[in-house]
Amino acid sequence: MHFRTFVNGVLVGILLGVLFAPDSGEETRKKISRRAQGLKDTYDDFADNVSNTYNKVRDKASDIVSQTKNKLNSSKGEAESMYDI
């Protein structure tokens, strides 16, 4: 919640700064467009990084679960053979 509030504050600050800058309307619109595109690119990069990190963690967790299952099955097989179950 706090991060979203911070981002909203930054966006409002940027918008107000651009709107009150002493430039023509056309130049101001270009600035807003460039900054909006920059923010979009930054967000897209952030989202890609989060997605990639999530996928890596998910894959690693899956590997750990598989390894643990294999070890448990192996131990179970050894115990069964020791006691002829």
The confidence score (pLDDT) of residue 9 equals 85
Residues of the chain with pLDDT below 70 are: 1, 84-85
Q: Which amino acid is at 84?
A: D
The confidence score (pLDDT) of residue 1 equals 57
Domain ranges (residues) in the chain: 2-83
Task: Write out the DSSP string of 1-25.
Answer: -HHHHHHHHHHHHHHHHHHTSSS-H
d(CA 65, CA 60): 9
> Which of 56, 18, 67 lies closest to 75 in space, CA to CA?
67
The confidence score (pLDDT) of residue 6 equals 85
Which residues, 6+ apart, have CB-to-CB distance to 35 below 8 Å?
A: 14, 18
Whole-model pTM?
A: 0.54
The confidence score (pLDDT) of residue 77 equals 82
